[in-house]
Amino acid sequence: MTVLRGARERRVRSGGIDLCVVELGDPDRPTVLLVHGYPDSKEVWSEVAARLADRFHVVLYDVRGHGRSSAPVPLRGGFTLERLTDDFLAVADAVSPGRPVHLVGHDWGSVQCWEFVTVRRTEGRIASFTSLSGPSLDHFGHWINSRLKRPTPRRVGQLLGQGAKSWYICLLHTPVLPELAWRGPLGRRWPDILRRIEKVPGGGYPTASLPSDAAHGAWLYRDNVRPRLRRPRPDAHAHAPVQLITPLGDPFLSERLHDGLERWVPRLTRRTLPAGHWVPRTRPDRLADWITEFVTAVEDGRPRAVPRGRHADRFAGSLVLVTGAGSGIGRATALAFAASGARVLAVDRDAGTAARTAELCRRGGAPAAWAETVDVSDARAMERLAARVAADHGVVDILVNNAGIGLSGAFLDTTPEDWDQVLGVNLWGVIHGCRLFGRQMAERGQGGHIVNTASAAAFQPSRVLPAYSTSKAAVLMLSECLRAELADRGIGVTAVCPGIVNTNIASTARFAGVDAEEEKRRQERGARLYRMRDYPPEKVADAILDAVAHDRAVVPVTPEARGAHLLSRFLPGALRRLARVRPPL
């Protein structure tokens, strides 16, 4: 299926070329103009366009020589950036006369758009530009020259790294061979290559015109790359706000290629995305959200509120759900994501503390925050929560299964009811979260991340924590198994293992085999020890954000947790001997 069906189609004439242009949405609304790259046609944008059409007038066109647009004759010299700029102006004048358009470009579409937004003759026709996986050739040329003039080991490494990623450009400059490959075996295998390597789903893309599109598009490189890289323009400054979205897994472009871009773009917003090159197909939800936010801010004439929190370029706009968010590590984690511009769902069994966390998140920078009340050990209640969240807010991007309870006491003193309670919250709560929200992530097919709060007790045996340690060890192994299973779906899984953190878990923990008075005495003593240790939950929250940003598997947080983790790997016998020591009560 292609969502471009039913769109309004027109032909626009530009310099002897007929351009195929389609429109979606209300023409009276701001126009968002999507420009495709190589070797694509406008259909690469179909999923993004459908998501934008409710808010904007969305326009797509086949670049000359691609899709249903005609090709120049002869091909040589027919794809220069000057001619492509003529095409853009013709389309913009036809679909949005008298009103500037918001440009969005991917790959060679972005390369073109950088030209449009930095040349004098387009001033006043562009309201904003969102760039994806395609640099300005002028900026690229200056980037290369600066490293050649002042070489250092780091700069030479950057040049070599980008050179390795740009291997295909040399091949596209060879005569005849690219055309033969695309019209032959490469063209037939390309859809399978995209599905296997980039996890690009089907659905109206690539189109049947791919072989001829790719053959014609080789002239984009031949007509432009070498001349511009040799003689980059000295005045290639952007005259409109720019949003740069950098896929961190792009096999063709280094993130370092955009170092120093602020020199050329006075109004620059940076975003990063854990994805490959073809993000219009693999991450349409996130792109549509970021484009909507950016375009709306420009249209409203207000500066976009820039989050200042940890990894804000990555998490701004994400939907994050945190269980056990009413206090401690859960609240600190919710607030850390809020400071980074994420939308936060604060979930706790205590309605009051959940509501307070949501309020603090809104004050702390979250564009939106909501409170939900649920007992994570209740499968039916968790199912209702997952359905409600999906219906009201969409699919969660980051899930933090943090809810947990403490239980201390010898194994022989721990009753079946004690085991049911601690496993119900600490293990089954995690299982329910992973099962329900993880399935939604997988079915959406646009990646995500799951964080499960385990504990240093997961790899540190203790004679007084058999039930708690068992539940946390199970969470650790569940996380490892799930990480392996979901890796192919672009979903990361992290087990965070804190040690002693200054939260209220000690003061609320239960103690098996003692009466109420003794239990209260031990709770108070445990709370004092935790306060004396005074390791703040905010440090655990920072570790969680770092773990998601870098897709880490197992993250011991406190010094004692890191030490126990090392001992469990290299000196497990020492940990077993320590486990026999009876702690003072």
Q: What is the pLDDT of residues 477-496, one digit of tens each?
A: 999 999 999 999 999 999 99
**SS3 of the chain: helix, strand, coil, percent, to 5:** 50, 15, 35
pTM of the model: 0.87
Can you identify the CATH homologous superfamily of domain 8-299?
Answer: Alpha/Beta hydrolase fold, catalytic domain (3.40.50.1820)
Q: Is 70 exceeded by the pLDDT of residue 3?
A: no
Q: How many residues are present in the chain? A: 585
- The DSSP bridge pattern shows strands 17-24 and 369-373 to be unpaired
Round to whole Å and give the CA distance between 446 and 200. 10
* pLDDT category of residue 282 using cuts at 50, 70 and 90: very high
Looking at the annotation, which residues are catalytic?
Answer: 468
Quick one: residue 311, left, alpha or beta (phi over 0 = left, psi -120 to 50 = alpha)? left
Average pLDDT over residues 557-565: 94
Average pLDDT over residues 100-106: 98
Q: Among positive and negative, which fits the CA dihedral 544, 550, 551, 554?
A: negative
Three-state DSSP at 367 gives coil
Residue ranges of domains in the chain: 8-299, 312-406+416-505+537-579
Can you identify the CATH homologous superfamily of domain 312-406+416-505+537-579?
Answer: NAD(P)-binding Rossmann-like Domain (3.40.50.720)
Round to whole Å and give the CA distance between 37 and 132. 10
User: Residue 451: in which H helix or E strand, if any?
Assistant: strand 448-453
* pLDDT category of residue 280 using cuts at 50, 70 and 90: very high
Closest CA to 348 of 367, 369, 321, 366: 321
Query: Same CATH fold, 312-406+416-505+537-579 and 8-299?
Result: yes
Round to whole Å and give the CA distance between 443 and 463. 42
pLDDT at 2: 47
Contact partners, residue 378, CB within 8 Å, separation at least 6: none
Quick one: residue 251, left, alpha or beta (phi over 0 = left, psi -120 to 50 = alpha)? alpha
Average pLDDT over residues 400-429: 95
Q: Is 50 exceeded by the pLDDT of residue 240?
A: yes
